[in-house]
Amino acid sequence: MSRTQRIMLVCATGAAGGACLVASVYLGLDRADKIASIVSAVAGLGALAVAIYQLAQSSGEQPGGSPPRQVQRGGDNSTNIQSGGNIKFGDSNNLGGDR
């Protein structure tokens, strides 16, 4: 997150908190509580709708999509890292082991 985004997030959160304080003082705590319950119920239903939509979109796909394409090079300048051997990059540039 960039600095600008962080500042915008803090300002938006502060503005929302200030709006809640003003609403609770202006409307009274009881009425503000009832309005907050309705707003949170609508937000929850919206989140549920988005989740169901995402499930419907991905139902025919494999989990995680298609696997990434990997290239295996062989030859004198490659080492099998899984076997615990020394790592060689490019033209015999060694990393670890004997140099």
What pLDDT does residue 27 have?
A: 87
Q: What does the block give as tokens for 53?
A: 């939509």
Mean pLDDT of the chain: 77
Count the domains in the chain: 1
Other residues' Cβ atoms within 10 Å of the Cβ of residue 40: 10
| Inside any domain, residue 50 | yes
Looking at the predicted structure, is the pLDDT value of residue 99 above 50?
A: no
30-62 pLDDT, tens per residue?
898 898 899 999 999 999 999 999 888 876 665
pTM more than 0.75: no
35 in a structural domain: yes
Q: Is residue 20 part of a domain?
A: no
Query: Structural domain of residue 37, as residue ranges?
Result: 28-56
In a domain, 46, yes or no: yes
CB–CB of 86/95 below 8 Å? yes
| Average pLDDT rounded to a whole number, residues 4-30 | 91
Q: Report the alpha-carbon distance of residue 99 to residue 37 in Å, rounded.
A: 68
